[in-house]
Amino acid sequence: MDTILVANAGSSSVKFQVFEVAQGRTLKRQLKGQIDGVGSRPRLRASSAEGNVLVDHVYESEKVRDVTAALATAGAWLRSELKIDPVAIGHRVVHGGADYDRPVRVDRDVLARLERYVSLAPLHQPFNLAPIRSILANYPALPQIACFDTAFHRNHGALADCYAIPRELHAEGVRRYGFHGLSYEYIARTLPQVAPEIADKRVIVAHLGSGASMCALQQGRSVESTMGFTALDGIPMGTRPGQLDPGVVLYLISEKGMRPEAVQNLLYRDCGLKGLSGISNDMRELQDNREPNAVFAVDYFVYRVALNAGMLAAAVQGVDGFVFTAGIGENSPQIRAAIAGKLAWLGASLDADANAANKLLISRRDSRLPIYVVATDEEQMIARHTLALLSNQPASTAEQARVP
């Protein structure tokens, strides 16, 4: 049985899923799991596609010191306990830069190119690449496919792609990339099945989670995104500020005497909901907290999402559907209701009961703007891309390139 392992490595955790390549080259999810608490209290958990617990094990901290060791630990468990040896590994890589507008098989040259973007995605890129580097060194025959959060947006027109800066900087790669592309691509491919009436029309998708952004789709393609050169731009996030006057950065460096590394740490780790509330970066903790700063942080988030919806509607000259997805978007009726209330000018009218029940369609029948909740699945998108690239190889190569 051929299987594909999908890995999403973060700073202190590795999420993974295993997909069986079933008859007809279709994909069937077998299990999903993660190792979190890396370097402190590592814990491996996994469950089958049916939800049955397969493992829940805590390791000593020195046994799983970093994300590379975490993925190796998960791989060892998959091989020894479930006899799973994947024919390939698909990885989420946040930044593909100007070089990559589609998934690619990673070799040493590709890895070196991707390492140039570490400073543009410091919360993600180094940890995305660490397991790839280790596997490439130890199992060079095992295909590894990098799937980029930027790739889905690389067909943006020049007006959406450029900053008003000298053209030579744009030529060097200083441009608006957009992120969460794997999520938006999954939504775009799923809408024809779950909401065919809007699938080829003008749709705003709000990927609202700890990392948050929004995207305007037209005919299933990305036209505009709230994020730009890095994953700091756009709407506020758990610890990132969203839209920020560049003059603030200059002020912090010139007037406050902050070093660039300190500014980077501030913008990526201490802003957003965390900075505004002074309490938490987790919307689940904030939305029911009546402390004034928590209320303000939530209101600010809602306001900025609604504000950016107007921008995206302008980009595609109207809007025919609105989709909530990701952690907050899929699970918080309260935040969805607050945002929908600010979209009344676009014709939004929420069905309170459908919203509370997390239905697919949460707008009223007479709403001029239909509003949906669609669960995203970035891992399945990565598995699809990995299988597609494998299919272009001789079958014998895919069959022989297993983890020893």
Number of other CB atoms surrounding residue 9 within 10 Å? 27
Spell 289-318 as b/e; 16+ CB within 10 A means b.
beeeebeebbebbbebbbebbeebbebbee
- Structure tokens given for 262: 């300190």
Place of tokens 């209101």: 299
Place of tokens 């393609």: 221
Residues 6+ apart with CB under 8 A from 88: 4, 5, 142, 143, 144, 145, 386, 390, 398, 401
Catalytic member of 149, 320, 351, 377: 149
- Pick from 54, 68, 70, 123: nearest CA to 94: 123
Place of tokens 């079958």: 395
Annotated active-site residue 149? The verdict is: yes
- Structure tokens given for 214: 């929004």
Contact predicate 325/206, CB 8 Å: yes
- Residues of the chain by 3-state class (helix, strand, coil), percent to 5: 40, 20, 35
Q: Where are the beta strands (DSSP E) in 94-185?
A: 104-105, 144-148
Contact predicate 47/54, CB 8 Å: yes
Q: How far is it, in rounded angstroms, from Cα 213 to Cα 253?
A: 27
- The Cα diameter of the chain in Å comes to 63
Q: How far is it, in rounded angstroms, from Cα 294 to Cα 338?
A: 15
Query: What secondary structure letter does DSSP report for 392?
Result: T
Contact predicate 208/99, CB 8 Å: no
Q: How far is it, in rounded angstroms, from Cα 277 to Cα 294?
A: 5
Residues 6+ apart with CB under 8 A from 154: 96, 101, 177
Which residues does the annotation mark as catalytic?
Answer: 149
